[in-house]
Structure 1
Amino acid sequence: MKKYYDPGNGTLSKEVIEKALSRLAQLLKERNRRVELVAAGGVISVLMFGSRRMTRDIDVIIPPKDKELISELVDQVAEEQKLPKGQHAWLNDGVSFFGLQTKSNKQIFMHPNLVVYTASWYELLGMKLSGAWRRDADYHDAVHILRQIGNNNKSQTLVMSMKYRNFSPYVDDETFTKRFNRTWTDAFDDFD
């Protein structure tokens, strides 16, 4: 596994992500600041599920009061570690377009000065089953997310995840439900 950023295909490995986040945390410590971020996307699959080896970037929601500081420090880490910076930086809030609303208690990175949480599993599932349904990796992410929720109440899980579907592109109820049912079958059929 590559332990560095590969500019050829623009991907970050687990080792690169952890090194970059650790450096960001150190820079926050030097400024006597503590920041909590909420993540969505491939970084969860890389750091928590181990279902992907790499991701293109770390999609997070940055608290408004910390945006300027985080942007500055992300660029500094990018310079030091030869990672992408600017609008498509290695860590960015591009996911804010989807209106991420929740924060779970599940941490995927923890340091006294920087904690990265996942969004709620229902919200992540809703995002994956709607606008983020573009590649096999997104489908496999949805299976892993659904397994985190568990198979206790299928209809409740559908309703809860449906309320978090993306506004754009819009996915109608029937399409969303078909995707949910396929994901449910693949997530739990082997466990019944």
Structure 2
Amino acid sequence: MSTTLRIHSFPLSGHGHRVELFASLAGIPHEVVHVDLANGAQKADSFLALNPAGQVPVLEDGAVVISDSNAILVYLARKYAPSYLPSDPVKEAQVQKFLSLAAGELAFGPAAARLINVFNAPLDPEFCKSVATRLLAKLDPHLEGRDTLVGDAVTIADVALYSYLAHAPEGDISLQPFPNVRRFLAKIESLPGFKPMPATPVGLSAA
């Protein structure tokens, strides 16, 4: 590549981590640019010029700038790692279904529960836990006898769900009743190029 990809991210962001994880798994050369959310770097004019929403992650690929973690995954897979986004229309639709799940129940369940504990987010913990439990109760039987969410190979669907599922216990969401989900997470963690997201202390200031 003539231009190094730049991923603007924050170590404790699951949305940022899924993009960093995918680039690492797919062997896409990239540079991670740390955005200091705790000190308001996402509100600086230079960052807002990249993403007016003031959120990580943001991808820079030369003149191309893309925000939203799922959109970035689709872009990176389509351009640099097409094996992670099936060309078969049925499988591609299934991948999109899980991307929607990542933006919906995963975000409002495990991810939101984690925000409460880690960043003191003013959210309803019981609601978040109920959404998380419903999500896990659907995913666990889906993963019975299989290692990946769609087909027989790892796709961006697996990457999109990994980070917040793996860190669900930080939001007091137990994974013990869901053995297939735990096996799925272990499978992702065994892949060459796997990059973990740091475990996070509780009680940080919300950014």
Same fold (TM over 0.5): no
Greater share of residues in strand:
1
Larger RCO (CA under 8 A, 6+ residues apart): 2
TM-score (norm 1): 0.32
